[in-house]
Amino acid sequence: MSAPQFHAMADGRIIAFRHGPGRGPALVFLPGYMSDMTGSKATALADWAAHEGRAWLLLDYSGCGESPGDFADGTLSRWCEEVVALVETRLAGPVILVGSSMGGWLMLLAARALGSRVAALVGIAAAPDFTDWGYSPAQQAALGAGETVFEDNPYGPEPTPTFGRFWADGNAQRQLGAAIPFDGPVRLLHGQDDADVPPEISLRLAAALRSSDVQVTLVKHGDHRLSREEDIALLLRTVAAL
């Protein structure tokens, strides 16, 4: 990967990103919770776009990856501001938002903010509203009291924290309870063996989207990450078809 560039937000936040020029629509990858732009799906998408002569943008939310800041300050609203700022200042023309896990929730929020600039959406184990369905009643009570909840992390040695600030903001950004005002093509990829986000969530999202051009692909034996060689090939075929 090339060295990152840095974008300064109006309030002083510094956002690391990588960008390649080319034809549009530009592909914008939104990582999941505690993930960054060096993951296998993000880099595969950027490599494919570069090979095809298409514009692309990867980024790290503040407090993640190569972006400075405190992860505990992160919220969906805050990270959405960063995505929108980068798209508006670094890209011209239409974009396709590709969101993985929490990034699939964030792409819905960013699509609302960017409006007609968003040509299509691609969700990979999209996890909208996980502050609602992803925690036990005891955990929700603790988060509602402003406490931090730690959970086992199957992808690393350190437990995964959820902060009360993030949880409260997420509850205010829930999407599945009403029609989602997006009319373009949407493709949702979901592993049938996903232990973190039930495949039902992608079906609920498909039903909530106003668009009539929504397709859900369930991947047999696919896990939450969908990072196997065949999973990434499916992602690239999906994007290419759009």
Q: Is residue 73 annotated as a catalytic residue, yes or no?
A: no
> Are the C-beta atoms of 36 and 48 separated by less than 8 Å?
no
pLDDT in tens, 54-104: 999 999 999 999 999 999 999 999 999 999 999 999 999 999 999 999 999
Catalogue all structural domains in the chain, each as residue range(s) with its CATH number: 5-133+178-241 (3.40.50.1820)
Tens digit of pLDDT for each residue in 90-129?
999 999 999 999 999 999 999 999 999 999 999 999 999 9
Any catalytic annotation for residue 221? no
E strand or H helix at 124, and its extent? strand 118-124
DSSP assignment of 12-79 equals: S-EEEEEEE--EEEEEEEE--TT--TTSHHHHHHHHHHHHHTEEEEEE--TTSTTS-S-GGG--HHHH
* Residue 171: predicted pLDDT: 97
Residue tagged active-site, from 101, 129, 169, 231: 101
The sign of the torsion formed by the CA atoms of 104, 105, 110, 115 equals: positive
Question: Pick the catalytic residue: 19, 60, 224, 231?
Answer: 224
d(CA 194, CA 204): 16
Return mean pLDDT, the chain. Answer: 96
The answer to whether the pTM exceeds 0.85 is yes
Q: Residue for token digits 């956002």?
A: 15
- State the Cα angle at 99 between 97 and 103, rounded to 5°: 125
pLDDT tens per residue, range 163-201 = 999 999 999 999 999 999 999 999 999 999 999 999 999
Q: Which residue in the list 7, 194, 202, 231 is annotated as catalytic?
A: 194
Residue 219: pLDDT band by 50, 70, 90 thresholds? Answer: very high
The reply to whether 136 belongs to the active site is no
